[in-house]
Structure 1
Amino acid sequence: MTIRPRITEALARRRRWREFLDFADRHGSPHWLFRGVADKDKHLLVPKIGRDTARYDAGIERVLFRNFERRARQFVDVGSLSAWDLLALGQHHGLPTRLLDWSTNPLVAAFFAVSSEPRKEVARVYAYQASNVIDPTIEYDPFAIADVAVHIPSSIAPRIISQRGVFTVHPDPTIPLAPTGGATGDHYFDIEPIDRPYFERRLFGIAIDPSVIGADLDGLCRTLNWQYERGVALGKVVF
């Protein structure tokens, strides 16, 4: 009595995976960017610096960035980086900024959607049409832009490269970015909690996992931990 429901569930998950691949194909041209969120209702398209609207202050934001610029000199050659790339580097390492992370690879976005917390909510992959790309040789100041734009960073960190990372930059980081296409659903894809482990396993099978996304030992150990917990592709013990 339990075999048929299990088969039905398995077929439904495979169908949903194929639907996601179709979604990716429909957004296959180079001007599409992708972002995965773990909770479609609570994770709005808002940069970290602006998520607490009562606390946000543009002056404090600039001071925070200047402090990062001053103190980061012990770790990186700040003088070799533009203000844009320095801001991207800070964002990459957890600094609250007016940047929002995206990827040019929909599979990378799906990985972040299904593997992030909370895991019991409906995840979502957004597709955003990039139309206004920053030219840092003309627009020097990230704090002087008038409209939402896209920053394509230099190769400043291995993880940005491995994640095919790009950023949107927001003149008012407290205002949520409106998804391309509005609320029609044409440009986002939802993943139910029951389907998230299946998606994660399929992504692992095509080398979209923390060891690749993270491009460091932390990422490698996250992947091995995930394999251990789920008994996935551990191989035989050989001494």
Structure 2
Amino acid sequence: MTENRATTWNQLMDFLYEDAWTPALRRFRPSYAFRGLADAVFTLDTSLMRLGNDYASIEGHLLRNFKKYALHNVTEHDSFWYWLSVAQHHGLPTRLMDWTFSPYVALHFVTSSLDYYDRDGAIWCLNYKKVHQELPGSLGKLLEEEGADVFTVDMLRQIDSLHDFDDLANEPFALLFEPPSIDDRIVNQYALFSVISDPTISLSQWLESRPDMYRRIIIGHELKWEIRDKLDQANINERVLFPGLDGLSGWLRRQYIQPSGDDVISDCNPGEP
């Protein structure tokens, strides 16, 4: 695993777009998904893991009850992965984890919570092509036949449950898929999800023996205000990434807060996607 620390904007851009040039396409198209964290000490634990003891045993109950009670609010859909995506999107604890194709969106989540401006942040860069080299045969073949780099909900339709997903291989594996375009928030955040075939293993743990699949960029806390100002000027902010009155209010609240040296300024925005 490569880890670099960025203390200037230009340095940060170099790290984010490292290996981005793809000669076969003659384009800057990196094979990375990005996840921004407000504090560099945060790991890649899922929201399901944060429920505490015996969380794996209640995963099925959470999903079953979500579908039962959400039915009148969500258009009927026969895809299990559609329902899992909707649940994750609306805050249900799941084994999914949010990522983005956009390094700028990841930077937003590094700098969205002013509570963490006295701490270094981090961006995890996950090479989804290398992750998918370890897929079980049936899934690897499906991806190859589609000529795709990541899955969609429709491509995963043949897997009817997480139990079936977990049984596809003897060893845990990971994959990334794009959620359905449920609303503008998913579209604007250029979102995708990761999932591991074992709810008790975090992506951090899974990657420990696979250092060639990812790299991490540590972002010095002294750089956060510059990043935040430049993202706002580039229109990467709450108003765009969280369309609606909540995002608008969060954006306006932060616009009228001024940096004041080393003071910690309170803000209720989440520190991670």
TM-score bracket for the superposition, by shorter chain length: 0.7 to 0.9
Secondary structure at the aligned position of 1:68 is classed as helix
Once the two structures are superposed, the pairs formed by residues 111-122 of structure 1 within 5 Å of their partners are 111-116=108-113, 117-122=115-120
* Amino acid in the other structure paired with 1:55: D
The one of 76, 79, 86 equivalent to 2:83 is 86
Q: Is the 8 A contact 1:128 1:180 kept in 2?
A: no
2:66 corresponds to 1:68 = yes
* Amino acid in the other structure paired with 1:23: F
Call closer, same or farther: CA 1:97–1:143 in 2, change over 3 Å. farther
Once the two structures are superposed, the pairs formed by residues 81-230 of structure 1 within 5 Å of their partners are 82-116=79-113, 117-131=115-129, 132=132, 133-134=150-151, 135-146=155-166, 147-178=173-204, 179=207, 187-230=215-258
In the other structure, the counterpart of 2:40 is: 40
Call closer, same or farther: CA 1:175–1:119 in 2, change over 3 Å. farther
**Deviation at residue 215 of structure 1 after TM alignment:** 1.5
* Amino acid in the other structure paired with 1:31: S
**Deviation at residue 81 of structure 1 after TM alignment:** 5.4
Secondary structure at the aligned position of 1:51 is classed as helix
Q: Distance in 2 between matches of 1:71 and 1:27?
A: 46
**Deviation at residue 172 of structure 1 after TM alignment:** 2.2
* Amino acid in the other structure paired with 2:165: I
Q: TM-score, normalised by structure 2?
A: 0.71
Q: Distance in 1 between matches of 2:36 and 2:65?
A: 30
Call closer, same or farther: CA 1:119–1:85 in 2, change over 3 Å. farther
**Deviation at residue 181 of structure 1 after TM alignment:** 9.2
Q: TM-score, normalised by structure 1?
A: 0.80
Q: Distance in 2 between matches of 1:167 and 1:74?
A: 25
Q: Is the 8 A contact 1:127 1:187 kept in 2?
A: yes
Call closer, same or farther: CA 1:30–1:136 in 2, change over 3 Å. farther
Tell me: higher relative CO, structure 1 or 2? Use CA pairs within 8 A at least 6 residues apart.
2
**For the aligned residues, what is the CA RMSD?**
2.5
* Amino acid in the other structure paired with 1:227: Q
Q: Is the 8 A contact 1:99 1:168 kept in 2?
A: yes
**Deviation at residue 92 of structure 1 after TM alignment:** 1.2
Deviations 1:6-38, CA, capped at 9 Å, x for gaps: xxxxxxx9x611112112222533531000011
Q: Is the 8 A contact 2:17 2:30 kept in 1?
A: no
In the other structure, the counterpart of 2:56 is: 57
Call closer, same or farther: CA 1:36–1:143 in 2, change over 3 Å. farther
Structure 1: state its 5+ residue gaps: 1-12, 232-239
Structure 2: state its 5+ residue gaps: 1-5, 21-28, 133-149, 167-172, 260-273
Q: Is the 8 A contact 1:49 1:97 kept in 2?
A: yes
* Amino acid in the other structure paired with 1:145: F
Q: Distance in 1 between matches of 2:118 and 2:237?
A: 20
Q: Distance in 2 between matches of 1:21 and 1:136?
A: 34
Secondary structure at the aligned position of 2:158 is classed as coil
**Deviation at residue 183 of structure 1 after TM alignment:** 6.5
Deviations 1:74-127, CA, capped at 9 Å, x for gaps: 2111x2252112111111111000100000001101110122353322110110
Secondary structure at the aligned position of 2:257 is classed as helix
Call closer, same or farther: CA 1:80–1:24 in 2, change over 3 Å. same
